[in-house]
Structure 1
């Protein structure tokens, strides 16, 4: 029987929350991302065992990452306290879209009612400032706001579009009457931006006419779902998307074995059952989530096209670290918080579907595939009431 190493994964996340392994310390500048992966990961394992006081301490730590706007017009978060510099050096202390989402997601897991501490109109003013309203990238979002000049900074792609819409959802801005949305985004432009990145094969890409990518496909589909897009309204591209996603699960026909002695460059037996992000690429733990969650967003009937038994065997026997817990990107890689969280998220999403029995499965608690947070976090969000 395969084994899901619950106690080791728990210890791994707790380690990363307190002191990053040497190989991961360069990621301290993304502190809120690491906190999100670890806290939400523990929640998926049913091991976020904190007292009320401990939850408050963690929540206070997250709120310390809020950026104080001298004009009191926006609210936002920084990615790490590393960037909290004196005001004369605040060119580096910039309002960050992803950090804002990670902060909100982590606060939900801590059952911290941020509706009591934050102003959603000021948060949405920040988000709306990041939307591009002119030019070839019109409708998309950039990730960072320059406080001095008020200019948006960085590249535009579907990751930031999805992130912006997740923040909007967590603030329940989409539930407000139109006349009360003081600083909403242009949802029609956002939808057009996403649809312009659907490729001929159904996958979605960073820019028009560039290669389809599984992670960006999830971000695009998730963003459309957050905009209440009807996937049945265009059966042609959606059918192509389903086909392309299903073909991201790695397997090799018997005939390919003839090439093994000739060192066929795309052959790796360890990848069987896993998923890749693009054609002719090797398997990677994170795509187990991006691909199957994308299918789940499109409908349960498409989600069932996956070989769940092979997928679980890949994660449990190939990319799970049996030595220290966590998951690496593949069988040869050191575990890291991102792949650890997404590996566990995938197993949670697939729970009970394969018929494959493995120890530790019953610990998995449930996940909201649209917002990529635990079901307990999602339930807490639903009961929050903004004044």
Structure 2
């Protein structure tokens, strides 16, 4: 019988922190996300002590922050970069701007490492979020174009939730965008009239949950339809769309959606574990997309975070909407309590 290779997965995440595999060179501008997978993965495994110099990692994350001082008054660029490769070293360069996914993963990484977020320029970050929201309620990934879909709506909502301030988002427009993206088959797509997908369904459900509107926004029929669509994704593991192969990353995307919809009890966790275990690399550690393929940081992290939802022994509990451990959420709660004793901040145009 297969078993969960706890120590090997910890070793894999540590390797990803120490030296990014060569095949990920093209993702250098997204290094913040790769760091998040590794750090948060070690946290879920209870192996965060393998990060011997946490403060150095914290300092690296803060060096990617574009603060109000660097913006020279143009707060629309504020937030976090994905890596130093995004910076020219010239504060006034118009192309030096944040990316909303990197801002989300930067804040999450800081929380996992126990940072109190006291150096986060909250007003600037909120202003940067406001500049990314489009009239239809979707959000751009970055100021200078790019895609605008449910992924970045979720990242903006997660940042707003962590900063305990929604002045950077129009929640009414956001809710309407989510509802317009619900499809005839009861799943949710990246945007109106597109195909239902497991990843976008999570992003939409989690966005409503973080805004505190999951119960009020959805009718009973819509909620039941979502549950049915998500449960229909399971064979052994979960797939992301009808007639697609099971994929370890949906262990989290679909699993977390069901947890947020109070329907996780209907998941066959025994079958789910069997599938996820089959994607493990017994030599290097890590999880692959499918059995017999190479491990990668994204599928390793999402597979493990999905197993946390399933109550896997040896893993910390996870916050289904934020995708960080319960310990990281406690760090966040302390930061938010401190902010409430300070003068309020808000986004500016």
Match of 2:140 among 139, 142, 146: 142
For 1:243 and 1:347, the matched residues in 2 are separated by 21
Equivalent residues of 2:205, 2:214 under 8 A apart = no
Note the 1:30-49 alignment, pairs <5 A. Answer: 30-49=30-49
Please state how far the C-alpha of 1:34 moved relative to its aligned partner: 0.4
1:238 aligns with 2:220: no
Partner of 2:119: 117
Query: CA shift at 1:103, angstroms?
Result: 0.6
Any stretches of 5+ residues in structure 2 without a counterpart? 343-349
Question: How far did residue 230 of structure 1 move?
Answer: 4.1
Deviations 1:5-29 (A, max 9, x none): 1111111111111101222332222
Q: Quote the offset at 1:171 in angstroms.
A: 0.3
Match of 1:382 among 329, 333, 341: 333
Where does 1:121-200 land on structure 2 (aligned, <5 Å)? 121-133=123-135, 138-146=136-144, 153-174=145-166, 183-200=167-184
Q: Which residue number corresponds to residue 326 of structure 1?
A: 286
1:78 aligns with: 81
Determine the C-alpha separation between the residues in 1 that align with 2:283 and 2:49.
23
**Which residue of the other structure, out of 322, 328, 340, is the alignment partner of 1:371?**
322
Alignment partner of 1:54 is 2:14 = no
- Paired residue for 1:356? none
Larger gyration radius, structure 1 or structure 2: 1
Q: Shift of residue 73 of structure 1?
A: 3.3
1:288 corresponds in structure 2 to: 251
Structure 1: which 5+ residue stretches go unaligned? Answer: 147-152, 175-182, 251-272, 352-360
Q: Normalising by the residue count of structure 2, what TM-score does the alignment of the two structures yield?
A: 0.91
Please say if residues 24 and 336 of structure 1, whose CA atoms lie closer than 8 Å, have aligned partners that are also in contact: no
User: TM-score, with normalisation over the residues of structure 1?
Assistant: 0.82
Residue 298 (structure 1) aligns with: 261
What is the rounded CA distance, in whole Å, between the counterparts of 1:188 and 1:106 in structure 2?
29
Counterparts in 2 of 1:88 and 1:187: CA distance versus 1, 3 Å: closer
Q: 2:230 aligns to what SS in structure 1?
A: helix
Partner in structure 2 of residue 362 of structure 1: 313
Match of 2:71 in 1: 69
Q: 1:72 to 1:93 in 2, by over 3 A?
A: closer
Indicate the larger mover: 197-206 or 78-87: 78-87
Q: Secondary structure at the match of 2:328?
A: helix
Deviations 1:235-284 (A, max 9, x none): 1111111111101012xxxxxxxxxxxxxxxxxxxxxx111111111111
Task: Give CA-to-partner distance per residue, 1:283-327, whole Å, 9 cap, x none.
Answer: 11101111111010011xx111111101001011x2111110010
Change in Cα spacing, 1:85 to 1:230, as seen in structure 2 (3 Å) is: closer
**Equivalent pair of 1:85/1:93 in contact (CA under 8 Å):** yes
* Distance in 1, Cα, partners of 2:97 & 2:125: 14
2-side partners of 1:282 and 1:184: how far apart?
38
- 1:25-66 CA distances to partner (integer Å, 9 max, x unpaired)? 322221000000000000000000068x82211100111111
SS in 2 for 1:155: strand
Please list every run of at least 4 consecutive aligned residues from structure 1 whose deviation after the TM superposition is greater than 6 angstroms: none
Give the aligned partner of residue 260 of structure 1.
Answer: none
Q: Give the corresponding residue for 1:257.
A: none
| Alpha-carbon distance in 1 for matches of 2:266, 2:313 | 23
Cα distance change, pair 50–334 in 1 and its aligned pair in 2 (3 A): closer
User: Considering only aligned residues, what root-mean-square deviation do their CA atoms show, in Å?
Assistant: 1.8
Aligned partners of 2:26, 2:138: CA distance in 1, in Å?
Answer: 29
SS of the counterpart of 1:49? helix
Conserved in 2, the CA contact under 8 Å of 1:231 and 1:298? no
Q: Which deviates more from structure 2 when the two are superposed, residues 374-383 or residues 233-242?
A: 233-242
Aligned residues: 333
Measure, in 1, the Cα distance between the counterparts of 2:281 and 2:214: 40
Three-state SS of the structure 2 residue aligned to 1:156 is strand
SS in 2 for 1:143: strand
1:249 to 234, 244, 251: 234
d(CA) in 2 for partners of 1:70, 1:50 = 39
Report the Cα distance in structure 2 between the residues aligned to 1:231 and 1:203, rounded to whole angstroms: 17
* Paired residues of 1:131 and 1:140 also in contact (CA < 8 A): yes
Match of 1:21 in 2: 21
